[in-house]
A and B are shown apart, each in its own frame.
Chain A
Amino acid sequence: MVVREKGRWETKGLDCWPQFKEFLKGRYEAVATAHDQGLLTVLGTQEGGIQEALGGGDHNFGGEPYGATCAYMGLSVEFMEAAEAKGFARDTCAYCRINLGAMYLDKYAFGGTFPKVDFGMRKHTCDTHAKWSLLHSEYLKVPYLVIDGAPGNEFDSEQSLKNKAEYHIAQQLDAIEEIEKLTGREFNDEIYIQSVYNNYRCRNLWAQVCILNQNIPAPLDQKSMYTLFEVAFHNSVRKGAVELMETLRDEVEDRVKNKIAAVATERFRIGYVSQPPYYALRIFRYLEKYGAVAIGSRYCFGIGEGTTMVQDGKEVPIPTLEEQGIVLKTREDAVRAAVNQTHLAEEIRGGDFRYCGHRTRESLLRLIREWHCDAAIMHFNRGCQGWGIGEPQLRLALLENDIPTLTFEGNVADSREWDDARSLARLDAFFESQGLEKLED
């Protein structure tokens, strides 16, 4: 095992942190009032600017971020119990139960009643997505559009990957025409095209930030990254998002140059696997008591999801459209670019979302290696089947490669499935096994 010197690094908080918090808080407030202001509001996946292109606001009422935020705010149990009272099983997706429960209670986590929406829309990549949004749309009596995301897998032929991309593109174009009819609004192709450019830029910048975390000491810690990645992943189309990500990238570069650490006592680096227990993010601060820093995860890096690609065996940012020399002139150009961002060719795609075979295992091992991790911590997450799939296999891959690995059980958003004392005790035992003692109580 590698245990570095108990040196102290210079540390300080991110200068741009308050800007990120303000930017993201504004998103939820906008959702609450948008419909009353005559702004179109879509419930579900925000497909890169579709809402804005229809003259809607740039607010995003996506289910997953809302679910995670509710968990963080301690509201998830109330909402989930409301969904369970309607007959939904307790082992269904935690985010789904939170969103459904909030709807049934007609309650919004940020005050007032559940936001009014104009229609439901969902890109279906995990098994639950389309069913969850269907329930929303049926209850709220709004139209519902769903797109089969058809993600690639390592068993696909080159032709199958092309078939999937074309299928996705065709559905997306159909959906836009359908939405125009449903809303009576004209889809502004220019706005949509700009949003696709911005999405590429934001994700490219986020990838740069994540790769900068390969440095020792790590300039960022995993807990902070859960806030930062929201801008690139779900808010890239909003005005100011690209500039904010540039600010972050520049500041992180500066931190690397001046060896400013996220954790002053960094001596042990951890690659994290799966989503966090959003109601118990304090565990990441607990790691720091041992001088350990979680440097990120495939989940928050967006590996395999339009952020990075594999080149010469390493994770690199997916180039922006400008860097690729791609000019978007038409709606179809833009949809094609948006789809191609996630429908990467097999040799450059880092991991498959719906499978956990060779490719995904290699993706995790690459993260451990390239980010200089000493160990891995896995959250055996009962609340999300999409990110839970393959975790036992990933654990086996880590063990087969002699990477010390700790697992703990929990749930991304259902705090009833979390045992604080037990989880912290496991962390204590794990660090003891790695020869680390607590540096502070």
Chain B
Amino acid sequence: MIEKFEDIYRNRHQYAKDWKVRTGGKVLGYLCTYIPEEIVYAAGVLPVRLLGSHEVEDVTAPYIFPMFCPFCRDTLAQGLKGRYDYLDGIVSSDTCMHINQTFDNFVLYCGIGRENAFVANTAYNVASPRAREYQAKEALEFKKHMEEWTGKTITDDDLDRGIEIMNRNRRLMKQVYETRKGENPPITGAEAMLMVTSSQMSDKEEHSNIIEQVLKGLPGWSSDRETGVRLMIVGSEDDDVEFLRMVENLGATFVVDDHCTGTRYFWNEVIPGEDRLAAIANRYLDRTPCPIKDWSERRRFTQVLRLAQDYDVQGIILVQQKFCDPHELDIPPLTTLLKEHNFPTYFLEFDVTVPIGAFATRVEAFLETIRGEELF
């Protein structure tokens, strides 16, 4: 069943097109996981995360600086090449300026148009008590946008349905992640990443059904691969599955992560409440923050440490999408914190494509330094 995740991931565009034909519904592209997808589902619209293809590209330079986020450039390349021509609309959460620029370009140059573009504003000062009221009000504005766009009134029942669709998917993915705490995790890090990214690209009700089948098959299932060194991957947006596969072929397994195609996406649920929009808003304020919003208490660092401890991690690979200031400014203090807690780290800079051979050499060396403890 796990291969179904990869099937969705590899054939994401055809999946969305087929969904449109099947349901007659609209597809709304999004770039950042701070979008309140609950409201999108409540509107009967399919939210799909826009991601890149990790291919060398030469189309984005007139539209976005080469020294801007690789994820943004790669995603924009897909739009400029027409691969997202089935999108009916696009939404930004105004999370970071690089994503905003990709969003602007999709609107101006990828056939989306101003009338099908929305911003679901999210607070940056997530720790401020004032953010709760603000975010709830903006959730209401986004709901109004969706109602106007679809011509459908979104009721409380619709919001309850949207919340349950998202919560169920989160709950199930977390259950899968729980199994990775064991000595012999039944799924690899690459497979886990495929599970999460395919969730971002597909109808979550369908996706949850697949996870339930996977969970049924997990108890008693044992892998024929050695777990090896237990690793954690921490960083910016990353869906470089091939990188994870490469590392896991070197005698290691990624058992947990902190990034937005991983635990940051699904770790906490909406706690239902009478005021559905406030409940949704609070979920996004309370989730593990993206570094761009993580001030002043550094809640992300606490979560990274907790996951590393809970999952018995032996080493942490810090992946940094180049040119992302918020993540880059976290790297030195995070590295120091992890070192203080005896977690060895290794830092790698990522771009649209990565030098997989050179990275393999470096990661091998990192793994050897970790295993070195076992020799004596």
Residues of A within 8 A of B (CB): 86-89, 91-93, 96, 124, 126-128, 130-132, 134-135, 137-138, 144, 146-148, 150, 153, 155-157, 159-160, 163-164, 166-167, 170-171, 174, 354-358, 380, 382, 385-386, 388-393, 395-396
Q: Is the CB of B296 within 8 A of A396?
A: no
B354 adjacent to chain A (CB < 8 Å): no
A163 CA to B138 CA, complexed, in Å: 8
The residues of B that contact A153 with a CB separation of less than 8 Å are: 94, 100, 119
Known pairs A156-B121, A159-B141, A163-B138; A355 contacts B100 (CB<8 A):
yes
The 7 nearest A-B residue pairs measured at CB: A148-B125, A87-B332, A167-B134, A155-B119, A131-B329, A89-B328, A148-B124
| Closest chain A CB from B133 CB (angstroms) | 8
The answer to whether A127 and B123 touch across the interface, beta carbons within 8 angstroms, is no
> B163-171, B181-189, B212-220, B319-327: which lies at the A interface?
B319-327
Q: How far is the CA of A352 from the CA of B107 in the complex (A)?
A: 15
Residue of B nearest to A395 (CB): B62
Q: Kindly state whether residue B372 has any CB partner on chain A within 8 Å.
A: no
User: B residues within 8 A CB of A390?
Assistant: 101, 104
Q: Please give the distance in Å from B290's CB to the nearest CB on chain A.
A: 10
Q: Closest approach, in angstroms, between the C-beta of B100 and any C-beta of chain A?
A: 5
In the complex, are the beta carbons of B130 and A174 less than 8 A apart? yes
* Also in contact, A385 and B325, with CB within 8 A (given A153-B94, A392-B65): yes
Which chain B positions have C-beta within 8 A of A124? 124-125
Q: Considering the chains assembled together, what is the distance between the CA atoms of A389 and B138 in angstroms?
A: 24
Contact bitstring B283-302, A, C-beta under 8 A = 1, else 0: 00000000110011000000
B64 near A: Cβ within 8 Å?
Answer: yes
Chain A min CB distance to B285 (Å): 12
**Interface: B34 (CB within 8 A):** no
> A131, B295: Cβ atoms under 8 Å?
yes
Docked Cα-Cα span, A86 to B292, in Å, equals 20
Min Cβ gap B48→A in Å is 19
Minimum C-beta distance from B216 to chain A (A): 43
- A156 and B119 form a contact (CB under 8 A): yes
A86 / chain B contacts, CB cutoff of 8 Å = 332
> When the two chains form their complex, are residues B125 and A147 in contact, meaning their CB atoms are under 8 A apart?
yes
Whether B177 is near chain A, meaning CB under 8 Å from some CB there, is: no
Q: Which B residues lie at the A interface, using CB under 8 A?
A: 61-65, 67-68, 92, 94, 96-98, 100-101, 103-105, 107-108, 114, 117-119, 121, 123-125, 128-131, 133-134, 137-138, 141, 144-145, 291-292, 295-296, 320, 322-323, 325-326, 328-333, 335, 349
In the complex, what residues of A have CB within 8 A of residue B68's CB? 385, 388
Residue from the list B61, B92, B325 in contact with A96, Cβ < 8 A = B325
Q: How far is the CA of A411 from the CA of B120 in the complex (A)?
A: 32
- Are A89 and B331 neighbours in the complex by a CB distance under 8 Å? yes
Contact B333 A138 (CB under 8 A): yes
Q: Are A92 and B97 neighbours in the complex by a CB distance under 8 Å?
A: no
In the complex, the chain B residue whose C-beta lies closest to that of A358 is B114
Docked pose: A206 CA to B68 CA in angstroms: 33
Known A128-B326, A147-B125, A148-B125; contact A354-B94, beta-carbon cutoff 8 A: yes
CA distance A132 to B332 in the complex (A): 12
Residues of B within 8 A of A393 (CB): 63, 101, 104-105, 108
Q: Is the CB of B67 within 8 A of A91?
A: yes
Besides A167-B123, A357-B114, A386-B97, 12 more A-B contacts (Cβ < 8 Å) are A126-B97, A127-B96, A127-B326, A130-B125, A131-B295, A153-B94, A157-B141, A157-B144, A157-B145, A159-B141, A388-B67, A393-B108
Chain A residue at smallest Cβ distance from B104 = A357
Chain A residues whose CB sits within 8 angstroms of the CB of B100 once the complex forms = 153, 354-356, 389
* Inter-subunit contact B328/A127 (CB<8 Å): no
Q: Most chain-A Cβ atoms within 10 A of its Cβ — which of B92, B96, B323, B329?
A: B329
Q: How far is the CB of B192 from chain A (nearest CB, A)?
A: 28
Instruction: Determine the distance from Cα of A439 to Cα of B310 in the docked complex, in whole angstroms.
Output: 72
Contact status B105-A150, CB under 8 Å:
no
- Supply 9 A–B pairs (Cβ within 8 Å), ascending by A: A127-B98, A148-B128, A163-B137, A167-B130, A171-B125, A390-B101, A392-B61, A395-B62, A396-B62
Q: B128 touching A171 by the CB < 8 A rule?
A: yes
Query: B62 contacts A163, CB within 8 Å?
Result: no
CB neighbours (8 Å) of B96 from chain A are 127
Provide the bound-state CA to CA distance between A334 and B129, in Å: 22
User: B residues within 8 A CB of A386?
Assistant: 97
**CB-defined contacts of B349 to chain A, threshold 8 Å:** 89
Contacts of B65 in A (CB 8 A): 380, 382, 388, 391-392
Query: Cα distance A428–B320 when bound, in Å?
Result: 39
Q: Contacts of A147 on B, CB cut-off 8 Å?
A: 125
By a CB distance below 8 angstroms, the chain B residues around A388 are: 65, 67-68
Complex-state Cα separation, A160 to B138, whole angstroms: 7
**CB <8 Å contact, A163 and B130:** no
| A132 proximity list for chain B (CB < 8 A) | 329
Most chain A C-beta atoms within 10 Å of own C-beta, residue among B64, B118, B326, B328? B328
CB contacts (< 8 Å) of B137 on chain A: these are 159, 163
Q: Which of B92, B94, B134 has the most CB of A within 10 A?
A: B134
Contacts of B129 in A (CB 8 A): 174
- Contacts of A396 on B, CB cut-off 8 Å? 62-63
Q: Are the CB atoms of A134 and B320 closer together than 8 Å?
A: no
In the complex formed, the residue of B with least CB distance to A173 is B130
Bound Cα distance A170, B134 (Å): 10
Which residue of A92, A134, A355 is within 8 Å of B325 (Cβ)? Answer: A92
Assess the A134–B326 pair: CB atoms within 8 A. no
Given A127-B96, A380-B65, residue A144 in contact with residue B296 (CB < 8 A): yes
Within the assembled complex, what's the spacing in Å between the Cα atoms of A356 and B105? 9
Q: From B129, which residue of chain A is reached at the shortest CB distance?
A: A174
Cβ of B331 and Cβ of A164 under 8 Å apart? no
- The residue in B98, B107, B295, B349 that gathers the most chain A C-beta atoms within 10 A of its C-beta is B295
Task: Report the bound CA distance from A148 to B132 in whole Å.
Answer: 13
> Are B125 and A92 in contact, CB atoms less than 8 angstroms apart?
no
In the complex the two chains form, what is the Cα distance from A144 to B330 in whole Å? 17
Contacts of B108 in A (CB 8 A): 357-358, 393
| Chain A residue with the shortest CB-CB distance to B107 | A357
Across the interface, B128 reaches (CB within 8 A) one of A87, A164, A174, namely A174
B57 to chain A, nearest CB (A): 15
A358 CA / B113 CA spacing, docked (Å): 11
Given contact pairs A150-B124, A354-B100, A392 touches B64 in the complex (Cβ within 8 A): yes
User: Closest Cβ of chain A: how far from B76's Cβ, in Å?
Assistant: 11
Also in contact, A164 and B121, with CB within 8 A (given A357-B104, A392-B65)? yes
Chain B contacts for A137, CB-based, 8 A: 296
Bound complex: CA A164 to CA B65 (Å):
29
- B329 with A389: CB separation less than 8 A: no
Chain A residues with Cβ below 8 Å from B145 are 157
Least CB distance, B296 to chain A, in whole angstroms: 5
Q: Which B residues are in CB contact (< 8 Å) with A392?
A: 61-65
CB–CB B128/A130 < 8 A = no
> Of the candidates B107, B138, B296, B325, which one forms a contact with A93 in the assembled complex, judged by CB atoms under 8 Å apart?
B325
User: Across the interface, do A87 and B335 meet the contact criterion of CB distance under 8 Å?
Assistant: yes
A355–B98 alpha-carbon span in the complex (Å)? 9
| CA A138 to CA B333, docked complex, whole Å | 10
Of chain B, the residue at the smallest CB distance from A90 is: B328
A126 to B62, CA, bound (A): 23
